[in-house]
Chain A
């Protein structure tokens, strides 16, 4: 048995259990591989799910630390089944709620007595703003799960959700500007609400850049997760900025103490559009997580093919 260098190794369980390939770098025969895998499987689930495991090799007595990635492929399998069930419902809800929401916000609601027809921008602007916070909060929760429990799907979720959150934040900023121009007489002011949302947008972009900046995706994910957790401080700042500081932006009128202060004819389209955006987010994030899982598998396969090449050379040389 070749003496492996200590480090982090990835084990592709589905392939390994089919008896394919020396995916475990130091196991050069099926028997060794089988022994290795039974040893891992004998460990309590809790230990397995903590990601790092210790392997004692039978004849050498050395301890090797490996990166447990069985649940990386076991869980995604469950996720793929679940997403196949959920996706049609989410997509259907997106279509129905979008049609209903657009009809309500463009035809089914009255113009505002002060703001006239520009109030219709609200039905895009406010749900987009809610989504920008909702998506970020979800990503931060996922980041915590990814860091604490090393749950690989949590990492993938955060990575998959980031562009959608950035998109919603962008829509929120642009529609806010288009609403501010006629109503406030300015496209932009550097006040607390607007600035903190702009920072949220940069947090999304920064996370996306950071995650892709490392050769090793694991390290990128870890750095990105830390950024997400640090950035969560911005979420309450955005929410309460209209109360804490003097600002041009109007205070909350839906999510506030004492219930919504907005007429039901305007609240209904607002909530329907928020539902449509949420359903859209769920549909697209399911598709994106699926893409991320496929890309992880591609990476594992490419690595193992490269590994095969090395072994073949070693045998012949």
Chain B
């Protein structure tokens, strides 16, 4: 085992090569995974906020129209 780790005297070159490759590839994977989770969470939050906003907006407009004494326009919705 020791002989294997020693790598014929080239341990200082062989193991860093494998280490850096592992570090870069795993780091990229983790960053990608976190980015995806983040984006999907934001998207979900935005999408669930949307219908609520819309109802509020239409209600607000109807109220405004009635206050002004004009009939509610039928074209919307």
Contacts and interface: CB of A to CB of B under 8 A. Distances in A.
B34 to A, nearest CB: 10
Q: DSSP class of A's interface residues: helix, strand, loop or mixed?
A: helix
Q: Interface majority SS on B: helix, strand, loop or mixed?
A: helix
Contact of B8 (A29, A111, A280): A111
A120 B7 contact: yes
Contacts, number: 110
A252 interface: no
A169 to B, nearest CB: 10
Nearest to A316: B64
Given A174-B20, A182-B10, A297-B43, A21 B29 contact: no
Query: How many residues of B sit at the interface, in one of the four size bands?
Result: 35 or more
Contacts of A170: 24
B29 A284 contact: yes
Contact of B76 (A30, A128, A305): A30
A288 B32 contact: yes
Contacts of A60: none
A125 interface: yes
Interface string B23-62: 0110011001101100110110011001101100100110
B17 interface: yes
B36 A287 contact: yes
Interface residues of A, number: 46
Contacts of A124: 17-18, 21
A167 B24 contact: yes
A31 B14 contact: no
A291 B36 contact: yes
Contact of B36 (A30, A107, A181, A294): A294
B21 to A, nearest CB: 5
B16 interface: yes
Nearest to B51: A20
B16 A178 contact: yes
Given A30-B75, A124-B18, A302-B46, A294 B32 contact: no
Nearest to B41: A294
Interface string A77-104: 0000000000000000000000000000
Interface of A: 19-21, 28-31, 106-107, 111, 116-118, 120-121, 124-125, 128, 163-164, 167, 170-171, 174-175, 178-179, 181-182, 280, 284, 287-288, 290-291, 294-295, 297-298, 301-302, 305, 308, 312, 315-316
Interface of B: 4, 7-10, 13-14, 16-18, 20-21, 24-25, 28-29, 32-33, 35-36, 39-40, 42-43, 46-47, 50-51, 53-54, 57, 60-61, 64, 73, 75-77
Given A20-B51, A294-B43, A305-B50, 8 more contacts: A20-B54, A29-B76, A107-B4, A170-B24, A284-B32, A294-B40, A298-B43, A312-B61
